[in-house]
Amino acid sequence: MSAPETPLDCARRVLSAVPPLMQEIRAEMRNAAPAGLSVPQFRVLVYAGNHPGASVSDIAAHLGVTLPTASVAVDRLVRQGLLQAPLTPDNRRRRSIELTAAGTRAVSHALASTTDAFAQRLADLKPQDLALVRQALVLLERQLAPRAPGADA
């Protein structure tokens, strides 16, 4: 019988497993992204889909780029009809970024295609192993979920 896992052992395993998983997910998303979009532009679309009403500053922080760089990416996506970025009524310097119907379709298509490709990678697992993977991910999601303010008090 092997020694029980410690939180440190588990953290090491997660940190070693996640990068190759993310690399594969990103590669599949890039393959399914609309032609002519750069990876950062596609990341803007995905972020906007997950954070409706985000600002250009939010997008810059997410991408790790300057505000002008994010603004250029947003402007290009607006011109392509994938984003809308009207000025907000309460602050005419802030734009509220949202996907258009075409942007939503592009992100949905890429997500569905990526999900299908990833499902194919898992197809050889036995049902009980799939259940274990799912259970582990549910536990991890639950543990890493943001805590409500005052929850630790």
Dump pLDDT digits (tens) for 8-51: 999 999 999 999 999 998 888 888 888 888 888 888 999 999 99
pLDDT in tens, 53-85: 999 999 999 999 999 999 999 999 999 999 998
Q: How far apart are CA 45 and CA 39, in angstroms?
A: 10
| Neighbouring C-beta atoms of residue 139, cutoff 10 Å | 10
Query: How far from 147 is each of 33, 109, 137, CA to CA, in Å?
Result: 33, 32, 18
Domains plus CATH for the chain? 22-144 (1.10.10.10)
**Average pLDDT of the segment spanning 123-145:** 95
pTM (two decimals): 0.74
Identify the pLDDT of residue 87: 77
| Cα–Cα–Cα angle for 90, 52, 144, rounded to 5 degrees | 120
More confident residue, 129 or 35: 129
